[in-house]
């Protein structure tokens, strides 16, 4: 992806991310800009992945099962072949590319601040003998280098719905995520009440 194209795409995906966070805020019964005002859209970054065709995909690992640590992920898949799978009812389901479509993943931090009302999904990327496959993921992870604290949103907590998660300092949360292997750790597990 050329630098100019990447910058242009990044601008558009940031706008889309903020629109989605607005809709998700409303779905929680909050003001439209609630999640944006919590800085959930800060720190968005693009990761471009190139997966060449694999001559023996059954011997390759791909990307292991994981959930995204941040708030929201917007994924652009190329239109050639699917390598993305989502775990649904203990079965791996292929997510086929749709022309002009994007895949939206809820991340662990959005599950935490929504007190479990939104659920992050576990997914993986598998190797395939068709390719190459290209994906561009935009992660909305919040102010990852700061000392901002995130916990379940107060308006979502009550006697009937107590907090399901502890508060997290985002810089510590991100450091823990990046120093632990994907196979061994799901970010949310550590912060359950």
Per-residue model confidence (pLDDT) at position 181: 61
Q: Is the pLDDT of residue 51 over 90?
A: no
Of residues 13 and 2, more confidence is placed in: 13
7 compared with 82, residue with greater pLDDT? 7
Worst-scoring range by mean pLDDT, 15-19, 77-81, 106-110?
Answer: 77-81
- Reported as a single tens digit per residue, the pLDDT across 12-43 is 999 999 999 999 999 999 999 999 999 998 88
- Could you give the percent of the chain with pLDDT greater than 90? 47
The 10s digit of each residue's pLDDT in 122-175 is: 998 888 888 788 889 999 999 888 789 999 999 999 999 999 999 999 888 888
Rounded Cα distance, 32 and 23, in Å: 7
For tokens 């601008």, the residue is 11
Q: Which residue has the tokens 């005002």?
A: 37
Stretch 34-63: mean pLDDT: 86
pLDDT for res 185? 56
Between CA 41 and CA 140 the distance in angstroms is 5
What per-residue confidence (pLDDT) applies to 49?
A: 83
For residue 180, is pLDDT > 90? no
Q: Report the CATH number of the 42-191 domain.
A: 2.60.120.330
Q: Any idea where the domains of the chain sit in the sequence?
A: 42-191
Average pLDDT, the chain: 88
Task: Determine the pLDDT at residue 130.
Answer: 81
């Amino acid at each position: 992806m050329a630098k100019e194209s990447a910058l242009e795409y990044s601008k558009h995906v940031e706008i889309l991310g903020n629109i989605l966070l607005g809709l998700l805020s409303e779905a929680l019964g909050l003001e439209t800009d609630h999640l944006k005002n919590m800085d959930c859209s800060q720190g968005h970054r693009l990761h471009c992945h190139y997966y060449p065709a694999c001559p023996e995909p059954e011997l390759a690992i791909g990307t292991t099962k994981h959930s995204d640590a941040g708030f929201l992920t917007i994924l652009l898949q190329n239109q050639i072949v699917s390598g993305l799978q989502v775990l649904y009812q203990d079965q791996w389901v292929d997510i086929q590319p749709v022309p002009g479509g994007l895949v939206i993943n809820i991340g662990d931090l959005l599950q935490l601040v929504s007190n479990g009302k939104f659920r992050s999904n576990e997914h993986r990327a598998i190797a395939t003998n068709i390719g190459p496959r290209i994906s561009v993921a935009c992660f909305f992870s919040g102010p990852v280098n700061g000392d901002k604290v995130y916990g379940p949103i107060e308006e979502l907590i009550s006697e009937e719905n107590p907090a399901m998660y502890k508060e997290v300092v985002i810089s510590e949360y991100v450091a823990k995520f990046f120093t632990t292997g994907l196979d061994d750790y799901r970010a949310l597990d550590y912060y359950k009440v």
